[in-house]
């Protein structure tokens, strides 16, 4: 293949490569460089700041939040995806659930936080209704504005996202495999235990890792819901950049962002390995 033909074949990718360079590569390189360079010289001071109690606490809570919502979203989303696959392809219920999943998976940020505040916040509709009827305060102790509340709110969009990413794996289970298992005398449970579950495990774990990365990097919902404190890394980065109490923390913010890049890169590498393994039988 001539050089001119190679250039012509890759030319349609130029806009995509430009977007990736401007919005992904350049910011990533900028964050990594500024995490190790201060005043024009190499330093590890900003990296050492990651081992302070505040940074370690934020990392722990971010991992806990991402892990909990990834597990909850993966389990409930996989069950919902299986129910969708079990329904006829032309059923109205299947089309409706898929459409809702596509919408709700993108429903986040300030709108989602406001929806929960208006429903089960201190003066939420459901909170006031339950309090009037049963004398019980759903928003007692302000749990919605802390880590438990973030887990509940994040799970709201993790479940439909799991449906979208895991559904192709369920649809990849060929009916011939089940017919062959039944023909050999296997029960339904034996088919799922010996054939379906082992085949679906890489796709399930890969989807769960994708949910972990999605929750780990989410910012807008937490920023709108948590007005005080910095329980997770994105909020600690915000506090480092806009704090009026402690100035000059931009370098610390670069180090935190670099830490997040490393965690997400590890998770996405594992995700790609699992997807590559599951693609062997999906194709």
pLDDT tens profile 176-216: 877 788 787 777 788 888 888 888 888 899 999 999 999 99
In tens, the pLDDT along 42-91 reads 989 899 999 999 899 999 999 999 999 999 999 999 999 998 888 887 88
Mean pLDDT, rounded, of the chain? 87
Which has more confidence, 236 or 246?
Answer: 236
- List the single range of 20-24, 61-65, 212-216, 225-229 with lowest mean pLDDT: 225-229
Q: Supply the pTM of this predicted model.
A: 0.89
pLDDT for res 213: 93
The pair phi, psi for residue 37, each rounded to 5°, is -120, 130
Closest by Cα among 47, 268, 78 to 192: 78
Residue 283 has pLDDT above 60, yes or no: no
Contact 118, 129 (CB under 8 A): no
Q: Whole-angstrom distance between the N-terminal and C-terminal Cα of the chain? A: 28
pLDDT for res 281: 64
């Amino acid at each position: 293949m001539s050089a001119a033909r190679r250039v012509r074949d890759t030319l349609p990718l130029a806009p995509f490569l430009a977007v990736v360079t401007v919005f992904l590569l350049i910011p990533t390189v900028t964050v990594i460089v500024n995490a190790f360079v201060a005043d024009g010289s190499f330093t590890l001071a900003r990296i050492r700041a990651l081992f302070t109690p505040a940074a370690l606490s934020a990392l722990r809570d971010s991992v806990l939040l991402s892990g909990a919502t990834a597990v909850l979203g993966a389990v409930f989303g996989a069950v919902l995806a299986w129910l969708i696959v079990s329904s006829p392809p032309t059923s109205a219920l299947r089309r409706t659930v898929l459409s809702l999943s596509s919408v709700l998976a993108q429903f986040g940020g300030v709108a989602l936080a406001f929806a929960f505040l208006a429903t089960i916040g201190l003066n939420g509709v459901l909170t006031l209704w339950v309090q009037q009827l049963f004398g019980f305060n759903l928003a007692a102790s302000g749990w919605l504005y802390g880590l438990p509340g973030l887990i509940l709110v994040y799970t709201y969009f993790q479940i439909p996202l799991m449906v979208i990413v895991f559904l192709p794996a369920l649809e990849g289970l060929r009916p011939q495999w089940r017919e062959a298992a039944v023909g050999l005398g296997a029960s339904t449970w034996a088919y799922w235990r010996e054939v379906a579950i082992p085949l679906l495990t890489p796709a399930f774990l890969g989807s769960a890792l994708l949910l972990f990365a999605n929750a780990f990097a989410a910012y807008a919902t937490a920023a709108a819901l948590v007005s005080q404190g910095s329980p997770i890394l994105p909020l600690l980065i915000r506090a480092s950049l806009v704090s009026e109490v402690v100035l000059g923390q931009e370098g610390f913010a670069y180090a935190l962002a670099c830490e997040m890049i490393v965690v997400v890169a590890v998770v996405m590498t594992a995700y790609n390995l699992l997807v590559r393994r599951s693609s062997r039988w999906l194709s």
